[in-house]
Amino acid sequence: MSAREWSVAWKTLVARPSRNERGRTALAIVAVALAIAVVVAIRMANRTALESFEQTSRAVAGRGALTVHGPTPISSTLFPRLRWLGAYAEAEPYIDRYAYDPRAHDTLELLGLDWAAEVAHHLPLNRNLIAPGSRQQRRAAVLLTSYYAQRYHYRRGDWLPLVLNGRLVRLWIAGVLPQSKLATAQSGHIALMDVAAEAHLLGQVRGAPLRFDGLQLRLAPGVSEPWLASQVQPFLPADDHVEPAAVRRRQTEKMVSAFAANLRALSYVALLVGAFLIYNTIAMGVVRRRTAIATLRALGASRRAILAVFLAEALLLSVIGGLAGLALGRLLAGLALHLVSMTLNALYTVTHPKAVRFTAGDLVWALILAVGVGLISAWGPAREAARVAPAEGMRPGLYETQFAVAKHRWLWLGLACALLAAVCAKLPAIGTVPFWGFASALMAVLGMGLLLPFAVSHLLRLGRSRLLDPASAAAGRNRWWPLRLSLGLAAASLLSALRRTSVLLAALTTAVAMFIAVAIMVGSFRVTVSTWLGETLRADVFLRARDWTRSNNAPLPREVLRQLERLPGVGAAGEYSAVPETYRGQRIFISTAWSRDLESGRRNVRLAGEASGPMHRGCPLRFLRSAGDWNIWRRGSRRGEVFVSEPFARHFDRWPGRQIQLPTQAGPQKLRIAAVFRDYSSSQGYVFMNLALFEKLYGKPLASSAGLYARPGMTVERLLAQVTQVLASMPGERQALTVNDYQSLWREALKVFDQTFRVTWSLELIALAVAILGVANTLLAVALERRRELAVLLFLGATRRQTRRMLLGEAVWIGALALLFGTLLGVVLAAILIFVINVQSFGWTIQVHAPWTWLLPACLLVFAATLIAALGPAGVAAQVDPVAAVRVE
């Protein structure tokens, strides 16, 4: 293939025709750009969120090469035994807690380190450090990042109010940290104080040995990590261990990996839809230019030149679309990051990701993705173009009917894909990533795409013959005849271009199906969570520390609870505690709950005269497969068994009857699982045990949340007023605690739930937008391509309104068929999402509740959008010049 040959082919087949189809080319580019933008935005948001974890982890606990930690805090009594370490590493204890700033209404990571070393490291010239003040000030001295100080107008010497461990404390801002790795961790939401001071703030008794979260070891030059780890380990208590800091970072990554993988997979839906559209754009170009291709071939152009030209067209579309998508993705990434971090904060741990960063890697990756998808999508039609036989291509009037659609072969392939989808759905997850679940969904989508030509051709044929049947029209007394005629001709038109119709339908069907699937999944999940909340949240008033987060189970001040329990309106109280633990390298929580009848003082008893509910009956859990929660709970508790949450059981494959080994204060303990309970509060595992067992293994628990039950005759409103009044008399506690009644807590939980799915909805809506752009693009091509046929209809006496209606009729068919097949596929995808992907990613069983009441109007909206997308092309169809159109072959 010579350059000249290529240049002639390019000019004839792409450059010149594109001039007359600028609108269509622009639509195709916008569709590709949107698809790439979505993927880029999610990639950037995911990466930034993960980088935030990593950066924080590095800055906080991972600056040393090794960390020492255990199931319980590291005691300072360990230090004398590790004195020999000085020759090989610098050991620094740390405490890491989240605190709530009631003035700024923001969370802050309060990091306790060696104050003198940190000041010397960060503020060597002490320029930003004011002179130490009083003894009280020195004990509460904190370094704040310049970002945080500027954002919330704090200055050196100010007092910083913080809710720490459920109590309001005041810290003295001794200085402002300049820009450094530490200062940029958590996007500046970090404060640094002396580790001993923080230990005392957390309630540790002065003079007693201090307890730390861990010890970081900074290795001297030339010291090997594995060697030092092996040397240190024998000096540690049985359950403590030393490991590379990266292991802990990976733990966080692992924790959010399923969430990130699901988001990535959803973002690729838009790309899949985009791929269908690139395929269609090139395929339509091939059909429309078949005469030119045949002529060029007859004049001596090689197959390779034709192939190269169409691939080059796809490449150009992809590169322009990819670059535009990159720019758009950069803009969308900010929004995506906000939504992603909101979900991570709600479900996993506190994160303050910094602004998204655009890297050269993003550019290269977006281009590779766009070009890869473009070339793969265009390969089929381009190869078909190269195979156009000159004689056949130049035969007039045959249009796309020349391209035989091997719909029966596709049917079998489609059925094979459906079978593969079923097989993949049965395979287990790889780690926590439901790889086979995604493969199953992809196979289902491909299967439907391959089945579409067969199914659509039958339906369109049926529609055409019924609608254009004069006999049945006569029976209808002609009333709807114009409409029937338009729809019948539209069916015939779609049928004649079955491949194009099928591909367009595959794109729209995929987008509609994902929308429906996500709607069913989220709707089902919402109802399930709502029901579960109703079953498990039975107290009337709830209390929690303001600095409570998923990863920071801050305790409630005990004396405040006791004071509230003495209120005349309180009949009973329940408390709940959870402590973080590591099980098989993953973070889990050990939890317990107890309730108390305040009149009798008895624990975990059925409270007479109270409303029914598991908590009131002494059983705080709802079990997965049971009829009689109370008996399971009582029997298991008596035997000293534990209860595990469904995510725990699924992730670790630990079910009733099996044993788990947990690190405890008394060393590793093997415990038998009595039952599995439903838990939708977190995808991290929970091991639940009764109070007696918990106290035996982990000591006296500190309640991280509490519920108060109104006495008979006392309304919730009055009880809430009593609680609020008591807290108002304690200004510190008022700021440190949140108080909710059942209704507001329920609403808040569902609000958080809705927030976590905003990003999912956004992705689905963008995929739908891409597909609808595809409808506009394809129908515009139809209008341009079928000018001659439309002209003939005008010659035969059709009105322009009828030709316009015919194009709209095609949109009606496309919309209706996409909704039909999209609903079928959507139900299948919903089943895969609910029973495979969701279970494997998060370990939740969801009861299916399809939200048809709003899904139906949403589907009608999609249908309306399809029709609106057809208005432009229909206008083009109505403006056909019949005289000119019929003369040109």
Partner 1 sequence: MVSSSPLVNRPATVVRAVAVEKSYGARERRVAALRGLDLAVSAGEFVAIMGRSGCGKTTLLNLLGAMDQPDRGEIWLEGRNLPQLSEEELTRLRRQRVGFVFQFFNLLPTLTVRENVELPLLLQGETSAIRARVDEVLVAVDLHDRAADTPAQLSGGQMQRVALARALVHRPVLLIADEPTGNLDSISAEQVLTLLKELPARHGAAVVMATHSSEAARFADRVLHMKDGQWTNEAGKP
**Per CB under 8 A, 798 contacts partner 1:** yes
Among 331, 364, 474, 666, binds partner 1 (CB under 8 A): 474
Which DSSP string corresponds to 767-801? HHHHHHHHHHHHHHHHHHHTHHHHHHHHHTT--HH
**Cβ proximity to partner 1, 232 vs 294, nearer residue:** 294
Question: Which one of 67-75, 161-169, 378-386, 485-493 is the stretch in contact with partner 1 (CB under 8 A)?
Answer: 485-493
**Per CB under 8 A, 665 contacts partner 1:** no
**Per CB under 8 A, 404 contacts partner 1:** no
**Residue pair 178/97 in contact by the 8 Å Cβ criterion:** no
Question: Which one of 205-213, 394-402, 548-556, 670-678 is the stretch in contact with partner 1 (CB under 8 A)?
Answer: 394-402
**Cβ 292 to partner 1 shortest distance, Å:** 17
Quote the CA–CA distance of 114 and 108 in Å, as a whole number: 19
Phi, psi of 502 (to 5 degrees): -65, -40
**Per CB under 8 A, 501 contacts partner 1:** no
Quote the CA–CA distance of 156 and 666 in Å, as a whole number: 45
Window 346-385: contact mask with partner 1 (x via CB under 8 A): ----------------------------------------
**Cβ 296 to partner 1 shortest distance, Å:** 21
Size of the site for partner 1 (CB under 8 A): 38
Q: What does the block give as tokens for 550? A: 């998923």
Single-letter residue type at 551: S
**Cβ 803 to partner 1 shortest distance, Å:** 11
**Per CB under 8 A, 653 contacts partner 1:** no
Question: For residue 541, what are the contacts with CB-CB under 8 A and spacing of at least 6?
Answer: 707, 708, 710, 716, 719, 720, 723, 739, 740, 741, 742
Single-letter residue type at 164: L
Q: What does the block give as tokens for 399? A: 């249009």
Window 431-470: contact mask with partner 1 (x via CB under 8 A): -------------------------------------x-x
Residues in the chain: 889
**Per CB under 8 A, 471 contacts partner 1:** yes
**Cβ proximity to partner 1, 399 vs 652, nearer residue:** 399
**Per CB under 8 A, 398 contacts partner 1:** yes
**Cβ 491 to partner 1 shortest distance, Å:** 9
Question: Which one of 103-111, 181-189, 314-322, 795-803 is the stretch in contact with partner 1 (CB under 8 A)?
Answer: 795-803
Angle between helices 742-756 and 303-347 (to 10 degrees): 160
**Cβ proximity to partner 1, 528 vs 803, nearer residue:** 803
**Among the listed residues 723, 715, 691, 716, the one whose alpha carbon sits nearest the alpha carbon of residue 602:** 691
H or E, element range at 484: helix 481-496
Q: What does the block give as tokens for 17? A: 């025709």
Among 485, 644, 807, 814, binds partner 1 (CB under 8 A): 485
**Cβ proximity to partner 1, 87 vs 404, nearer residue:** 404
**Among the listed residues 515, 29, 628, the one whose alpha carbon sits nearest the alpha carbon of residue 318:** 29
**Cβ proximity to partner 1, 388 vs 511, nearer residue:** 388
Question: For residue 273, what are the contacts with CB-CB under 8 A and spacing of at least 6?
Answer: 35, 507, 510, 511, 767, 770, 771, 774
**Cβ 779 to partner 1 shortest distance, Å:** 15
**Cβ proximity to partner 1, 318 vs 493, nearer residue:** 493
Q: What does the block give as tokens for 152? A: 């919330």
Window 753-792: contact mask with partner 1 (x via CB under 8 A): -----------------------------------xx-xx
Among 85, 275, 373, 495, binds partner 1 (CB under 8 A): 495
Window 870-889: contact mask with partner 1 (x via CB under 8 A): ------------xx--xx-x
Residue whose tokens read 């049917």: 411
Among 80, 397, 601, 713, binds partner 1 (CB under 8 A): 397
**Cβ 369 to partner 1 shortest distance, Å:** 37
**Cβ proximity to partner 1, 226 vs 396, nearer residue:** 396
Among 284, 473, 543, 870, binds partner 1 (CB under 8 A): 473
Quote the CA–CA distance of 421 and 416 in Å, as a whole number: 9
Q: Exposed/middle/buried for 545, CB within 10 Å: 0-12, 13-18, 19+?
A: buried
User: What does DSSP assign to residue 20?
Assistant: T
**Per CB under 8 A, 274 contacts partner 1:** no
**Cβ 294 to partner 1 shortest distance, Å:** 16
Quote the CA–CA distance of 315 and 373 in Å, as a whole number: 9
- Contacts of residues 670-674 at CB distance under 8 Å and 24 or more positions apart, as own/partner, are 671/640, 671/641, 671/642, 672/639, 672/640, 672/641, 672/642, 673/641, 673/642, 673/643, 673/644, 673/649, 674/632, 674/635, 674/636, 674/637, 674/639, 674/641, 674/642, 674/643
**Cβ 792 to partner 1 shortest distance, Å:** 5
b/e map of 15-47 (b: 16 or more CB within 10 Å)? Answer: eebeeebeebbebbbbbbbbbbbbbbbbbbbbb
Among 600, 661, 725, 799, binds partner 1 (CB under 8 A): 799
**Per CB under 8 A, 136 contacts partner 1:** no
Footprint on this chain of partner 1 (rule: CB under 8 A): 396-399, 401-402, 468, 470-471, 473-474, 478, 481-482, 485, 489, 492-493, 495-496, 788-789, 791-800, 802, 882-883, 886-887, 889
